[in-house]
Amino acid sequence: MSMDVFAELSALFPEAGDRLRENEKMSEYTTFRLGGPADCLFLPAGIEELRLALAFADKNKIQVTLLGRGSNVVVSDQGIRGLTVMISEQMSKIDRAGDTLIADAGASLAALAGAAANYSLCGLEFASGIPGAVGGGVMMNAGAYDGCLADALIWTEYLDENNELKTLLADKHDFGYRSSFFTGSSKVIVRSAFSLSPGIYNDIIAKMADLAARRRASQPLEKPSAGSAFKRPVGYYAGKLISDCGLKGYSHGGAGISEKHAGFIINQGGASASDVLAVFCHVQRTVYNETGVLLEPEVRFAGDWSDDLSVLTGCHSI
């Protein structure tokens, strides 16, 4: 970098303490447990700090990488250049207004579902086992077991390209399968509201427990991963296509396809980001050659990948 971003941000945020870190290994912040260092990592404590950091980066033409809780991302072995902003537990407040829950973008989806249950509100049970944060969940319309955030969302507050706070109503979100108005844009989600229905506490808890048991039985939760590796292609299931092509158990370096669920690429121990990319590429190429179906990655790729991502069709880099 042409300027000392860390020093400048340290002066701008004198109270940040360890929320501002230099050359920080991203393996500590991602569910894949891999990735090189971020030049400068900042965890803002609120909207104003977030706006100040983004304004600073814009003024000084510094590349910004926005992350949530690191659950749907593969960070390059080379790390992330410029400024990495993680909207995480420092921005994770959840408020209640009647049958509505209003959650900061950094609140975990599990915490949001748990809060709904505690208030005997139903409609978010499906989200109780989805890793990641509200912001990322809204951006990609996260879902599981026939439920998705679009079903409950009322509005979203976000920072637009001019760093101004705006509100977007549910019907303007352009929700699709793992996509929304925010997908691929530079807009930054800061808070969302969800409309829920009164329910019976014991029934809600029982449903969440049933879904958790189903996840434990079918998904490799004991291994680091980024969740489902590929989006579900129209008319098919990614995991079944991968399994039918004989790829269960395939590995490259420390990364591989789960024997438990072929839709998951896992860190078997000591995997590099390059290992993970190689598995993605092999799966995509094999499935396409054998079935004619092109699997599109659901996981996003962050950091300095040079030209490596050109070999993976349909990947989303941030």
pLDDT digits (tens, 9 = 90+) for 79-123: 999 999 999 999 999 999 999 999 999 999 999 999 999 999 999
Domain ranges in the chain with CATH number 3.30.43.10: 5-89
The rounded distance, in Å, linking the Cα atoms of 191 and 120 is 22
Q: Which residue has better confidence, 20 or 317?
A: 20
With 60 as the cut, is the pLDDT of residue 1 above it? no
pLDDT at position 3 over 80: no
- Residues marked active site are found at 178, 228, 298
Percent of the chain with pLDDT over 70: 99
- Mean local confidence (pLDDT), 233-258: 97
- Give the C-alpha separation, 176 to 45, whole Å: 31
Question: What tens digit of pLDDT does each residue of 119-151 get?
Answer: 999 999 999 999 999 999 999 999 999 899 999
28-36 average pLDDT score = 97
CATH of domain 220-317: 3.90.78.10
Distance from C-alpha of 225 to C-alpha of 178, rounded to nearest angstrom: 18
CATH topology of domain 92-203: 3.30.465
State the pTM of this model: 0.94
- pLDDT(190) > 50: yes
Instruction: Please check the confidence at residue 249 and state whether its pLDDT lies above 80.
Output: yes
Residue 272, pLDDT score = 97
pLDDT tens per residue, range 37-73: 999 999 999 999 999 999 999 999 999 999 999 999 9
CATH of 5-89, one of 3.40.47.10, 3.30.43.10, 3.40.50.10190, 3.50.50.60: 3.30.43.10
Q: Is residue 291 scored above 90 in pLDDT?
A: yes
Q: How many helices (H) and strands (E) does the chain have?
A: 7, 20
Residues of the chain with CATH 3.90.78.10: 220-317
Q: At what angle do helices 109-118 and 201-218 cross, to 10 degrees?
A: 150
* Average pLDDT over the chain, rounded to an integer: 96
Q: Note the pLDDT tens digit of each residue in 156-186.
A: 999 999 999 999 999 999 999 999 999 989 9
